[in-house]
Amino acid sequence: MDSNNVVIGVDFGTDSVRTAIVSAADGAEISTAVFNYPRWKDGKYCDAGRNQFRQHPLDYLEGLEYTVRQAVLDAPPGTADKIAGLSIDTTGSTPVAVDRQGTPLALLPEFRENPNAMFILWKDHAAVREAEEINALARSWGGVDYTRYEGGIYSSEWFWAKLLHVLREDPSVAKAAYSWVEHCDWIPAVITGQTDPLTMKRSRCAAGHKAMWHEDFGGLPSEEFLRKLDPHLTGLRARLFEKTFTSDVSVGTLSSEWAHRLGLHAGVKVGVGAFDAHMGAVGGEITPYVLIKIMGTSTCDMLVAPPNDLGNRLVKGICGQVDGSIIPGMIGLEAGQSAFGDVFAWFRDVLMWPIEHIVSQSPLLDTNAREKIVEEVTESLIAELSREAANVPIDESGILALDWMNGRRTPDANQLLKGAVTGLTLGSDAPGIFRALVESTAFGAKKIVERFRSEGVKIEGVIALGGVAKKSSFIMQVVADVLDVPIKVPRSEQTCALGAAMFAAVVAGLYSSVDDAKTSMGSGIETEYRPDPQRAAKYRALYDRYTRLGEYVENEVLRIRRQE
Amino acid sequence: MDSNNVVIGVDFGTDSVRTAIVSAADGAEISTAVFNYPRWKDGKYCDAGRNQFRQHPLDYLEGLEYTVRQAVLDAPPGTADKIAGLSIDTTGSTPVAVDRQGTPLALLPEFRENPNAMFILWKDHAAVREAEEINALARSWGGVDYTRYEGGIYSSEWFWAKLLHVLREDPSVAKAAYSWVEHCDWIPAVITGQTDPLTMKRSRCAAGHKAMWHEDFGGLPSEEFLRKLDPHLTGLRARLFEKTFTSDVSVGTLSSEWAHRLGLHAGVKVGVGAFDAHMGAVGGEITPYVLIKIMGTSTCDMLVAPPNDLGNRLVKGICGQVDGSIIPGMIGLEAGQSAFGDVFAWFRDVLMWPIEHIVSQSPLLDTNAREKIVEEVTESLIAELSREAANVPIDESGILALDWMNGRRTPDANQLLKGAVTGLTLGSDAPGIFRALVESTAFGAKKIVERFRSEGVKIEGVIALGGVAKKSSFIMQVVADVLDVPIKVPRSEQTCALGAAMFAAVVAGLYSSVDDAKTSMGSGIETEYRPDPQRAAKYRALYDRYTRLGEYVENEVLRIRRQE
């Protein structure tokens, strides 16, 4: 391989897009750029109380253009000419309604401000009822249970539930929607100029994990099933896709328009997209039976296993097992927690209320000081709480929380579930509650590890990626103590973008396999958190309480649902 | 009656003492004065994390002297000469260890800074295990169940549990303690110069509700029972008391020393003391089968019934039923919630954390502004939260809290129980949580009403007294909606002090009965909160969820206890 070759990985996260230009030889970072989605940052098109989270396609396109151009500018002169490939990852399931040309409806003038014409972000779960209907029908309709490769429970965070919800809610969008496209499919299609929804190269990762696509079914669920689910879906299957592609496959080269917009040459090969977590797992150097946890606002927990090991075994209650979704040729298994960093951010926001509603109005401060105070506290609060919480002893009869503030993704998806804080006394303070919230997210992580094991999938180690893994040694130590396994954190600050770059190198033909790219381009381990035996023992007792609290909350939700 | 006669009521509350000089003819307030306990305010001798709350006797004596002198100063010239009687009420059970002379040990030089030598405030419940032992022994020892007139469950907040805890914990106090005295017994004893613990006039109210005193038992629990409970108690019974007195009885007249210290004449008659809530119930014009709720940091819920109505019936799970504890000649029934306003203050303190730990250190503010900000937010936060919470709709599947942050007093006392907040989502904000906390305290109030009814004691109305009743129309409306009965709030701002003044008028011989004093001196009703039928219906559904959450928490506590 020409050691001068460079590749680009683009990582569309929840709040921002990050682009990394890296050496294809050793993965060394040449330059990076980040762009915060401006409309999203302003809270546009979202309604947290209704669990509605939408993103405008322009946030993505502006971010792509800005970060690639900026990264090229920050790289040594001549770098642009050496770029061989570009691959992208995105959040998901994050689908959007498109017209016959594959244009997201929100890019048409008449839908410009309509949230239903925008990307439905992964964490939007307005579609709770639709998911329940899909689950009920899959079990009762007499045909194949299409949820079988997605853990047996379809989630409101996924493709069909989301699009059905929008089709029902918004007749104008229903009328104009020719097809539906995942964010990770749309970006490569746009920049290669191949947006026809009927021929667009669709990601195996997205389709297999979120759209009930499987080779055994001959692709997506049958027309009959979809029509039974809702007449709104009649005929849609034929306007979606039959084939899917792993991310070692090229979509094509940059269109001349986009080569120009990005400041790159038109020979750059563009790979099939995938979800951020899956490419991040590759960037974090996933190997068989090592659980990769991407710990950000939520978590995505991934494992790869050789197809021969798993046989026909299905792992119950996880988010899916898909051939080639992470590494081509391996079964990719995905699980995850619906909220992780979001739980801590939620508590921060609750605690910010007096500052935002009283301090920031106080005549004791001038306007400038008011804004700065809000900024200062927002930025430092979680770190300050962590510092204090680290000194709170583990108390087996103390505060116990449940981390289901955003429902539960795995094991056994249920978006109706809610969070709780119990064991409160008049002496309970903010750091004590914060510690219990951290412990609850660690217990949620343990539930996933235990499910894999009880389903016969061994777990030999844990690698942690993502913002929380890099930033909070307090939180990571609690997770290591609760899981009672060592947790390794890779050196790379951008494992998702690095993973995308690894795929770009394969797509560009610089490596013959993803494994080869991973071996050469991986960044190695930076930190290892080792569990403390005494704390681990205490947490085993607390974990039983967590389990019982979860059972109580789940029974309550069932009961309320039956009464409605 | 000479319409010029005036009387003094002194109300020792949790944070402060209030003295009112009122006309004995019509109860009109002539002057009042308040004194915040300085050592208590500084948090001295307390440890909230261990549920240890102690008060120094000097806080009481300084407060008594200051407020009486100040009230006299603020009254028209010559008022001091017209004062015929003085009665006091205090919190309780708030006992203290005394020496042979009846002097609280903390007033001796060697115990000056020892919290175990001070008054053990009503809300101290370090004595959880001692209360459990008392309950276990009362049921198992083969003799009479001494808890029978105290609802069948002895509480860690009460006399014997507290003194046993201190005797075990502190050998120096155990050695020096000749006897034990309730706050409401000690003040009249001090100011009349009759502090000998063997002859001190003890309050029927305190002894009957908190010390398992009953005529049927021949007074306090037997020497045999107490010795079995713990050898520390051997011989103590003989150094306590056999007789008790209702508050229409005079202890004597002011000693010349105290007449001088208070600026009063030595002919002022001093009544037997009682608990604040009980005298407050009289000040709030209690009548048979109207529940008086004193709503402050905790609640005290009282009812009077003619002895013939109740017969031998015992009401299970309340705090006690004692002949003459509220009105001489009537059975006084007492129940209450361990935390009411304290629940809201706790949430305020949790929310204050960022302001106290980040804002108040911020270099953006000068020292003066920092202090003022903390003060401003502390003072306004509950009102601001109430304002926002009033707009939060009642959501039957939303946030649900449990108000046991300070354990549960009634029904069925259990100080091991803890509070909870459930039904949390990423959209849950501070006002929403606050509303759920308010609702939880109202549900706790309903549990008491329902217990009275299920035990065959009718409740024909509710009168609300105390700080919360006077200050928060939002909270009062929620309580009215949840209880589904109208709630009346009397005009007087000082019902406890007014009640004490009514007793003082009887003690001074100005009225022949408490009922007569109450009729002449009562202040009438100021506000009535009427339940809204629609909200009441919604709350009935939520109440069932509250009941189940309580069952879950109670089972968990039992389970953890068994494992310990």
CB contact under 8 A, B545 and A560: yes
Q: What is the pLDDT of residues A74-87, one digit of tens each?
A: 999 999 999 999 99
Distance from C-alpha of B396 to C-alpha of A559, rounded to nearest angstrom: 12
Q: What is the pLDDT of residues B134-192, one digit of tens each?
A: 999 999 999 999 999 988 889 898 999 999 999 999 999 999 999 999 999 999 999 99
Q: What is the CATH number of the domain that holds B552?
A: 3.30.420.40
User: Nearest residue of B to residue A419 by CA position?
Assistant: B424
Q: Is residue A486 part of a domain?
A: yes
CA nearest A412: which of A154, A211, A51, A213? A154
Distance from C-alpha of A214 to C-alpha of A207, rounded to nearest angstrom: 8
> Chain B contact for A359, CB < 8 A?
yes
Judge if B398 and B509 occupy the same domain: no
**A352 has a pLDDT exceeding 90:** yes
DSSP-assigned states of every residue in B251-299: EEE--HHHHHHHT--TT-EEEPPEEHHHHHHHHTT--TTEEEEEESSSE
User: Least CB-CB distance to A418: which of B51, B346, B424?
Assistant: B424
Q: Is residue B458 part of a domain?
A: yes
User: Least CB-CB distance to A358: which of B49, B380, B426?
Assistant: B380
3-state SS, residue B394: coil
Give the confidence band of A369 by pLDDT, cuts at 50, 70, 90.
Answer: confident
Structure tokens at B259: 């007449």
Chain B hits for A560, Cβ within 8 Å: 396-397, 545
Judge if A448 and A514 occupy the same domain: no
**Cis link prior to B93 (omega < 30° from 0)?**
yes
Distance from C-alpha of B107 to C-alpha of B194, rounded to nearest angstrom: 17
Question: Quick count: other Cβ atoms within 10 Å of Cβ A536?
Answer: 15
Distance from CA of A90 to the nearest CA of B (A): 23
Helices A514-521 and A495-507 pack at an angle, to 10 degrees, of 130
Partner B, chain A 38-77, Cβ-Cβ below 8 Å: 48-49, 51
Chain B hits for A376, Cβ within 8 Å: 358, 362, 364
CB contact under 8 A, B560 and A433: no
CA nearest B508: which of B3, B18, B5, B88? B5
Judge if B396 and B518 occupy the same domain: no
Distance from C-alpha of B142 to C-alpha of B130, rounded to nearest angstrom: 19
Judge if A423 and A460 occupy the same domain: yes
CB contact under 8 A, B49 and A352: no
Partner A, chain B 400-419, Cβ-Cβ below 8 Å: 402, 405-406, 418-419
Separation of first and last alpha carbons in chain A: 64
CB contact under 8 A, A377 and B354: yes
User: Nearest residue of B to residue A388 by CA position?
Assistant: B357
Phi, psi of B62 (to 5 degrees): -60, -40
Chain A hits for B357, Cβ within 8 Å: 384, 388
Residue A393 sits in which domain range?
A: 389-491+532-563
CB contact under 8 A, A350 and B353: no
Q: What is the pLDDT of residues A498-514, one digit of tens each?
A: 999 999 999 999 999 99
Question: Quick count: other Cβ atoms within 10 Å of Cβ A388?
Answer: 17
CA nearest A394: which of A176, A249, A542? A542
Do the strands A83-90 and A6-12 form a parallel or antiparallel pair, or are they unpaired? parallel
Structure tokens at A101: 């040309």
Q: Is residue A366 part of a domain?
A: no
Structure tokens at B22: 């009122």
Residue type, B73: L
Question: Quick count: other Cβ atoms within 10 Å of Cβ B484?
Answer: 17
Partner B, chain A 69-128, Cβ-Cβ below 8 Å: none
Q: Residue A377: which H helix or E strand, with range?
A: helix A367-389
Average pLDDT of span A210-217: 95
Instruction: Provide the CB-side half-sphere exposure for A481 (13 A, CA).
Output: 23
Q: What is the pLDDT of residues A501-560, one digit of tens each?
A: 999 999 999 999 999 999 999 999 999 999 999 999 999 999 999 999 999 999 999 998
Distance from C-alpha of A296 to C-alpha of A276, rounded to nearest angstrom: 11
Distance from C-alpha of A245 to C-alpha of A239, rounded to nearest angstrom: 17
CB contact under 8 A, B548 and A560: no
Which of A425, A546, A554, A560 is most worth mutating to test chain B (most B CB atoms within 10 A of its CB)?
A425
Chain B hits for A388, Cβ within 8 Å: 357
User: Least CB-CB distance to A353: which of B369, B376, B429?
Assistant: B429
Task: Find out whether B269 and B85 touch, Cβ atoms under 8 Å.
Answer: yes
Judge if B162 and B222 occupy the same domain: yes
Q: Is residue B77 part of a domain?
A: yes
Helices B159-169 and B128-140 pack at an angle, to 10 degrees, of 120
Distance from CA of B69 to the nearest CA of A (A): 36
> Chain B contact for A544, CB < 8 A?
no
Q: DSSP character for A84? A: E
Task: Find out whether B71 and B19 touch, Cβ atoms under 8 Å.
Answer: yes
Distance from C-alpha of B399 to C-alpha of B434, rounded to nearest angstrom: 10
Q: Residue A483: which H helix or E strand, with range?
A: helix A473-483
Distance from C-alpha of B434 to C-alpha of B428, rounded to nearest angstrom: 10
Residue type, B89: D
Chain B hits for A373, Cβ within 8 Å: 359, 362, 364-365
Tokens 């299957």 sit on residue: A237
CA nearest A281: which of A520, A35, A499? A499
Chain A hits for B564, Cβ within 8 Å: 397
Task: Find out whether B273 and B88 touch, Cβ atoms under 8 Å.
Answer: yes
CB contact under 8 A, B427 and A358: no
Judge if A270 and A397 occupy the same domain: no
Helices (H), B19-177: 38-41, 57-74, 79-82, 128-140, 159-169, 171-176
Give the confidence band of A236 by pLDDT, cuts at 50, 70, 90.
Answer: very high
CB contact under 8 A, A381 and B358: yes
CB contact under 8 A, B421 and A426: no
CB contact under 8 A, B353 and A51: no
Q: What is the pLDDT of residues B352-410, one digit of tens each?
A: 999 999 988 888 888 888 889 999 999 999 999 999 999 999 987 799 999 999 999 89
Which of B356, B424, B545 is most worth mutating to test chain A (most A CB atoms within 10 A of its CB)?
B424
Judge if B31 and B97 occupy the same domain: yes
Q: Is residue B352 part of a domain?
A: no
The contacts of residue A518 (CB under 8 Å, 6+ apart) are A282, A285, A286, A502
Q: Is residue B12 part of a domain?
A: yes
Chain B hits for A369, Cβ within 8 Å: 364-365
Chain A hits for B392, Cβ within 8 Å: none
User: Least CB-CB distance to B433: which of A350, A372, A402?
Assistant: A350
Chain B hits for A422, Cβ within 8 Å: 402, 418-422, 553, 556
Beta bridge partners of residue A88, listed in sequence order:
A10
Judge if B48 and B93 occupy the same domain: yes
Q: Is residue B346 part of a domain?
A: no
Distance from C-alpha of B5 to C-alpha of B216, rounded to nearest angstrom: 39
Chain B hits for A556, Cβ within 8 Å: 422, 545, 548-549
Partner B, chain A 374-393, Cβ-Cβ below 8 Å: 376-377, 380-381, 384-385, 388
**A1 has a pLDDT exceeding 60:** no
Average pLDDT of span A441-458: 96
Distance from C-alpha of B213 to C-alpha of B206, rounded to nearest angstrom: 9
CB contact under 8 A, A359 and B359: yes
> What is the reported pLDDT for A2?
60
Partner B, chain A 460-499, Cβ-Cβ below 8 Å: none
Q: Is residue A307 part of a domain?
A: no
CB contact under 8 A, A365 and B362: no
Per-residue pLDDT 10s for chain B (564 aa) are 566 899 999 999 999 999 999 999 999 999 999 999 999 999 999 998 888 999 999 999 999 999 999 999 999 999 999 999 999 999 999 999 999 999 999 999 999 999 999 999 998 989 999 999 999 999 999 999 999 998 888 989 899 999 999 999 999 999 999 999 999 999 999 999 999 999 999 999 999 999 999 999 999 999 999 999 999 999 999 999 999 999 999 999 999 999 999 999 999 999 999 999 999 999 999 999 999 999 988 999 999 999 988 877 888 888 789 999 999 999 999 999 999 999 999 999 999 999 999 988 888 888 888 889 999 999 999 999 999 999 999 987 799 999 999 999 899 988 889 999 999 999 999 999 999 999 999 999 999 999 999 999 999 889 999 889 989 999 999 999 999 999 999 999 899 999 999 999 999 999 999 999 999 999 999 999 999 999 999 999 999 999 999 999 999 999 988 887
Query: What ipTM was estimated for this complex?
Result: 0.85
> Chain B contact for A361, CB < 8 A?
no
CB contact under 8 A, A426 and B48: yes
Distance from C-alpha of A279 to C-alpha of A505, rounded to nearest angstrom: 13
Domain total of chain A = 2
User: Nearest residue of A to residue B398 by CA position?
Assistant: A418
Distance from C-alpha of B485 to C-alpha of B115, rounded to nearest angstrom: 43
> What is the reported pLDDT for B150?
84
Q: Residue A383: which H helix or E strand, with range?
A: helix A367-389
Instruction: Provide the CB-side half-sphere exposure for A243 (13 A, CA).
Output: 8
CB contact under 8 A, B339 and A426: yes
C-alpha torsion B182→B185→B187→B188, nearest 10: 180
Judge if B21 and B46 occupy the same domain: yes
pTM listed for this prediction: 0.85
Task: Find out whether A521 and A27 touch, Cβ atoms under 8 Å.
Answer: yes
Average of per-residue pLDDT values in chain B: 95
Judge if A419 and A500 occupy the same domain: no
Chain A hits for B427, Cβ within 8 Å: 48-49, 51
Distance from CA of B123 to the nearest CA of A (A): 11
User: Least CB-CB distance to A419: which of B351, B377, B425?
Assistant: B425
Strands (E), B346-411: 400-402
Q: What strands, in cross-sheet order, belong to the sheet with B290-295?
A: B320-323, B331-337, B299-305, B290-295, B461-465, B487-490, B525-529
Which sign does the torsion angle of CA A417, A423, A424, A428 carry? negative
CA angle B125, B131, B136 (to 5 degrees): 160
Structure tokens at B316: 């299970």
Judge if A503 and A541 occupy the same domain: no
Which of B122, B358, B402 is most worth mutating to test chain A (most A CB atoms within 10 A of its CB)?
B358
Buried b (16+ CB within 10 A) or exposed e, B384-411: bbbebbeebebebbbbbbbbbbbbbbbb
Judge if B435 and B538 occupy the same domain: yes
Distance from CA of A70 to the nearest CA of B (A): 34
Average of per-residue pLDDT values in chain A: 95
CB contact under 8 A, B422 and A420: yes
Phi, psi of B393 (to 5 degrees): -70, 155
Distance from C-alpha of B201 to C-alpha of B186, rounded to nearest angstrom: 9
Partner B, chain A 190-249, Cβ-Cβ below 8 Å: none
**Cα A138 to Cα A143, A224, A226, A543, B136, distances in angstroms:** 8, 12, 10, 33, 56
Number of H helices, E strands in chain B: 20, 20
Partner B, chain A 416-455, Cβ-Cβ below 8 Å: 418-431, 433
Percent of chain A scoring above 90 in pLDDT: 87
Give the confidence band of A360 by pLDDT, cuts at 50, 70, 90.
Answer: confident
Distance from C-alpha of A457 to C-alpha of A451, rounded to nearest angstrom: 9
The contacts of residue A456 (CB under 8 Å, 6+ apart) are A313
Q: What 3 state SS string does A220-273 have?
A: CCCHHHHHHHCHHHCCCHHHCCCCCECCCCEEEECCHHHHHHHCCCCCCEEECC
The contacts of residue A354 (CB under 8 Å, 6+ apart) are B351, B352, B354, B355, B377, B381, B384, B430
